[in-house]
Amino acid sequence: MKFVVIGGDAAGMSAASRAKRNRPELEVIVLEQTEDVSYSACGMPYNIADAERAVEDLVVRRAAVFRQKQGIDLRTGHRAERIDPGARTVFGVDADGKAFELPYDRLLIATGAAPLFPDVPGIDAPGVVALKQLQDARRIKALLAAGPVKQAVVLGMGYIALEMVEALCERGISASMVKPRPGLLPWLDAELAEKVREEVESRGVGVHDGREIHRIEEADGRLSVVCSDLTLEGELVLSAVGVRPNSDMAADAGLALGPGRAVAVDTRLATSDPNIFSAGDCADAFHVVTNERVWIPLALRANRAGWAAADNVCGKPTEIEGVAGTAVFKVFDLQVGRTGLTVAEAERAGFSPAAVTIKSRSRAHAHPGSSTVYIQLVGDRKNGRLLGAFMVCREGIHRINAAAVALHANMTVAAFAGTDLAYAPPFGPVWDPMLTAANQLVKRL
């Protein structure tokens, strides 16, 4: 049997490696359009922050290892362009620009996601960049090295935008952020979001939300981002307004799409064609709270889905649970985390949500080094079920994982409040902040 994988990053290489472990005799071919495979995309902002650190440090496993030690036919520089499900064939162009046809018995689409750019004049000017692939990190570091880059403008205020303004500040670059819609991290409770804004602004970063971006102008090696009542200037503009799934090839092949035009898959990662699977940032998932299809591209899901797809290709029936959208990120000295549904998302899903926001401490009373922890919990008035958790702190963000486990277990807020969480003064109060929030939410419900 011939197993062909399109895409050589997290999901694709996890699937290829797993398939070879399951069935060493299996012919596994991976088509990757770039020269990079198996790297830590999430580590790119931190790498960019360090001028002396090589981008290649982010490579987890080099292509030669997959080829020589695992027996995977990894073809870098090969761009898949079309899939014919009837003929079970992938068509594309190889590294020399020659067309190829590759038949398959089973196929995995792991094409990832692509960065979005605002549709404004000048967005294609030199010096306007995005950060999604390893080659993007190389380009940004090369621009910074060629310099001088004294000012930068970041379009957007999401995870990557916030991580990148920290990275730019680490390099001594003055940074500003801008986006059309009001609110920094609109999915975060207003009180918690204000703490993030205060942290960012305290580092000299300009935060300009609610500003429509009209155009980008270039003159004398500098860029001007022209907004309503505001013009921001710099030598570098980073677009961090979001990503879209690379699903056009799947759509052209007649495969069903889900939310956000992600490739629709079942719990086995199979698409609407039983011979084709999909995993990673291009594929959708089911939400553990709503049981509805969602598109939430995150690293753990990509790796786990790659494994599950490979198991099913190899005849080992495997289903994986859905996602809770659990995510954490760092911005300067703050840690931010979320899992589950916001109040607005819960309302749209048909729940009757109630929420509480509490302020607690990261360590026991009078223990040195303690800092403030902010937590919001969301629950359902109808059945008492925990629906979501959000957190801002300076230490201890992994508390969010307890709430994520509770969501996967369909726990009520009362049951979560009764869990036996660890205590020691250096790590938290006797009543862990998560338990304090849960007890308050029980009263509200």
Q: Do domains 2-38+58-114+244-313 and 117-239 have the same CATH topology?
A: yes
Query: Among residues of the chain, what percentage have pLDDT more than 70?
Result: 100
pLDDT in tens, 344-363: 999 999 999 999 999 999 99
Q: Is residue 311 over pLDDT 90? A: yes
| Coil/strand/helix, residue 94 | coil
225 sits in which H/E element = strand 222-227
Q: Give the start-to-end residue ranges of the domains of the chain.
A: 2-38+58-114+244-313, 117-239, 327-444
| CATH code given to domain 327-444 | 3.50.50.60
**Mean pLDDT across the chain:** 96
Query: Which is more confident, 247 or 147?
Result: 247
Instruction: Say which of 42, 227, 282, 393 is annotated catalytic.
Output: 42
Q: Cα(279)–Cα(258) distance, rounded to whole angstroms?
A: 13
- 42 part of the active site: yes
CB 123, CB 115: distance < 8 Å: no
Q: Which CATH superfamily is domain 2-38+58-114+244-313 in?
A: FAD/NAD(P)-binding domain (3.50.50.60)
Q: Cα(298)–Cα(284) distance, rounded to whole angstroms?
A: 11
- Rounded to an integer, the average pLDDT of 380-406 is 98
Predicted pLDDT at 292: 97
Predicted pLDDT at 253: 98
Exposure pattern of 135-170 as b/e (b: 16+ CB <10 Å)?
Answer: ebbbebbebbeeeebebbbbbbbbbbbbbbbbbbbe
Q: Which CATH superfamily is domain 117-239 in?
A: FAD/NAD(P)-binding domain (3.50.50.60)
Confidence band of 366 (pLDDT split at 50, 70, 90) = confident
Q: Cα(379)–Cα(410) distance, rounded to whole angstroms?
A: 11
pLDDT in tens, 28-60: 999 999 999 999 999 999 999 999 999 999 999
Q: For the chain, give the number of residues.
A: 445
Q: Is residue 427 over pLDDT 90? A: yes
Q: Is residue 147 over pLDDT 90? A: no
Q: Is residue 221 over pLDDT 90? A: no
Query: Among residues of the chain, what percentage have pLDDT more than 90?
Result: 97
- Residue by residue, DSSP assigns 73-91 as EEEET-EEEEEETTTTEEE
The label of the residue with tokens 């990832």 reads 112
Q: How many CA atoms lie within 13 A of 375 on its CB side?
A: 29
Q: Is residue 220 over pLDDT 90? A: no
